[in-house]
Every structure is written in structure tokens, then in C-alpha cells.
Amino acid sequence: MACIPAGAFTMGRDDGPPNERPAHRVWVQAFYLDTHEVTFADYQRCAKANACEARRPIYSDFNRPRQPMVAVTWHQAVQYCRWAGKRLPSEAQWEKAARGADGDLYPWGNEPATCERAIIQDARGRSCGVPKAGLARLADVGRTFEVGARGPFRYGLYDLVGNSWEWVADWFAGNYAGCGSACEGVEPRGPCGDRPGGLDKCPGRREKVLRGGSWYWDASQATGTFRRPYVPENEPVSHFGFRCAATGDDAARLAR
């Protein structure tokens, strides 16, 4: 895991999609974040221990041991992180890790996302033009790369944008202004994030948040600010992944 230092940063932006607005300053405590996306092999170990629901990607060519585990529900991502002694990052934590204290748009700075920096769709096609093995008619779907194929960038993190979408803990709010105090100030957790059980249920909210773009989509979604809403049950199934976070106390327990 990498240590993300405490401090303020600019979350959101005023010149992006409406759900990224407005830009606002928030403060997060120091925390730790997995340097890589959770892999297929990682998740299968959790399933073998009966701590995670059995799950496999529905596409062929997505089950190499070091490819990111994808096609999981939000609930299954939570199960894995709990088994590992960690938790899903909040939306604010994820964005701080991606943008740093200066509010850069990408983990590497402000230069545009390209296939030299991230596994995305470019002019050659999805996954930087690498076809998916198997049925020829599905080759242009592309595939994820093994974790660590790009980077490391800020804080020593790999694939924070591109490769696979990543679930975060928060319920989705249509924009930060409408979210109000739950998305502002110190350590924001989004709608219902301050209530017991708020992570699992939130009246009036149906969708969680995904971050980071993926091999399937172009550079416009591979930023530190892009927000994708989706139902936590992941139905119909999309190939979403995740990585885990830890507080200082979590990390101390893991070290013992």
C-alpha cells in the first residue's frame, strides 16, 4: 500500500461534466491505498477462504492471475476489502490519490491521457489496440492488462486511471452542490456516509460511484475527476474492479 498524506485538495472541477461540479476544497486525513487494483488471483483466494462470494469475469481472456478482478458487485468489493482488513476508499480519498494536493487532472500531472500513460481506448481501438483472445467477433472488446502495466505515478500508484473502473464507497450524488455538507469539509463521505449502516443503504439513492475509466473507454473518462454512477448490484454486469484503502489504525493491525 502507498501512504497518501493528510491535507486539503481541490475536488471536482468547473469545466467538466455537470456531475463533477463545482470545484471545492476538502480535507482528508492520511490514509493508505493499494498500489495496484485487486487481482483475479487475490479475489479467488478470498473466495476459496469462503470470505467472498464466488465470482469470475464473464468475458474470456480476463482471468490471468495478475489481471484486475472485474465483474464484481460493489458488495463483493466490500467483502474482499473487509477480508483483507481494509475498506473501500471514499470518493474524496480516491480523488486525492489521483490528483494530489495541487488538483492536477491526472495522476501524472495535467498532460492528456494516452496509451503510454494508461490502458484506455485510443485510435487503434480498446485496450490500446490489443484484441481480446477467443471469439473473433468479440476481439474488438479488448481486455484489461496485468496490473502495473502503466505507472507508477503520484504516490507510487499504478493504473489509477485506465485498465478497470474502480468502485468507491460513496453513494452517488448528481453534483457536489446538491450533495451539500456530506460532500464538503473534512473527510467527506457522500450521502449517508455519516450514518451507521449508511454505506449499505441510503434512502433516495440507488447508485454507487466508480472512478478512473477503463480499457473500454476513451481518454475523456480517464481523469482524476470523472464520476460514473452504477447500481451496487452491478446489473446488468459490467466489468468493474476495485482497490482497497486503510486508515492508520487499519494499517497498524495489518502490520501485527
Kindly state the cell numbers that stand for 14. 468547473
Q: Would you give per-residue pLDDT tens digits along the chain (256 residues)?
A: 999 999 999 999 999 999 999 999 999 999 999 999 999 999 999 999 999 999 999 999 999 999 999 999 999 999 999 999 999 999 999 999 999 999 999 999 999 999 999 999 999 999 999 999 988 888 999 999 999 999 999 999 999 999 999 999 999 999 999 999 999 999 999 999 987 667 889 999 999 999 999 999 999 999 999 999 999 999 999 999 999 999 877 766 776 6
Q: In the chain, which residue ranges form alpha helices assigned H by DSSP?
A: 40-48, 74-83, 91-99, 176-179, 248-255
* Predicted TM-score (pTM) of this structure: 0.96
Kindly state the cell numbers that stand for 254. 495489518
Kindly state the cell numbers that stand for 171. 453513494
Q: What's the pLDDT at 256?
A: 65
Question: Which amino acid appears at position 124 of this protein?
Answer: R
Q: Where are the domains of the chain?
A: 2-255
DSSP state of 116: T
Q: What's the pLDDT at 206?
A: 96
The CATH code belonging to domain 2-255 is 3.90.1580.10
φ/ψ of residue 156, rounded to 5: 75, 25
